[in-house]
Each structure stands twice: as C-alpha cells, then as structure tokens.
Amino acid sequence: MSDPHHDPDSSRDDDWIEALLREDAREHAQRVVADDGFTARVVTAIPAPVTLPPWRTPLLVGMWAAAGLGLATMLPDALRDTAQDVLRFIVAQHFSLRDVGVVVLAFAGASWAGTLYALRQER
C-alpha cells in the first residue's frame, strides 16, 4: 500500500502540506503576545535613514580629479624628471603581448573595484 503523502500521481499531494501549514499558523497565532500597539509605535518612532544627496558622488569625483591634476602640475622638477626616466625605462623594455594584457587587466580590475567601492550604497 502506497503512502498518499508521497504518491506523485495523487492530485491531493499538496493538501497535507497546506493542512500542516494552517495548523502551524493557528499554533503561532495562539503564542503571539498582544503588545497593545507597542510595536507600531516603536516602528513609527524610528527616524528615517539619512540619505546622501545624488550630486555628492560626481562632485567628489570632480574635486579629486582637480586635486590630482593640480598636484601633477605642481610636482617639482626632480620628481617629474624621475617619472620621465622611469617611463623611458619602461618603454625601452620589450614586453610580450601577454605581459601587456596582464597589466591592462590588472589596471582594469583595480579601476572597476575602485569604481564599485566609490559607488556603493551605504546601508
């Protein structure tokens, strides 16, 4: 004799689950403690979350870009010459296409990670 609860051909296969869920809901309703609206008062007293204005992120990006450009133009000649020497050294090296691809992927990954971090929503 097959069990009606597990018979795949039975059209009433889900009825026993529904009955168990209704019984559990009745038991739960009996265990609930009346709070006389306390929960609703507490929820309405919670202040709204502070949200940042939408213009803040583009403004910060612009400010950091301006600061970076200003710093780059104000570098002393010695630092600028050092940077040019490093660039000349890098350009003089013979890199394979794979090496260049790895560096490009690393910079792209770092850029995306920084962008996602900057644009995350605070919760």
Contact 83, 72 (CB under 8 A): no
What are the backbone angles phi and psi of residue 116, rounded to the nearest 5°?
-65, -35
Each of the 123 residues of the chain gets a pLDDT tens digit; together they read 445 555 555 556 678 889 899 988 888 877 777 788 888 899 999 998 888 889 999 999 999 999 988 887 877 777 878 889 988 988 888 878 898 899 999 999 999 999 998 888 766
Query: What is 21-55 written as a DSSP string?
Result: HHHHHHHHHHHPPP-TTHHHHHHHHSPPPP---TT
What is the pTM assigned to this prediction?
0.29
- 61 sits in which H/E element: helix 56-73
pLDDT of residue 7: 54
pLDDT of residue 1: 44
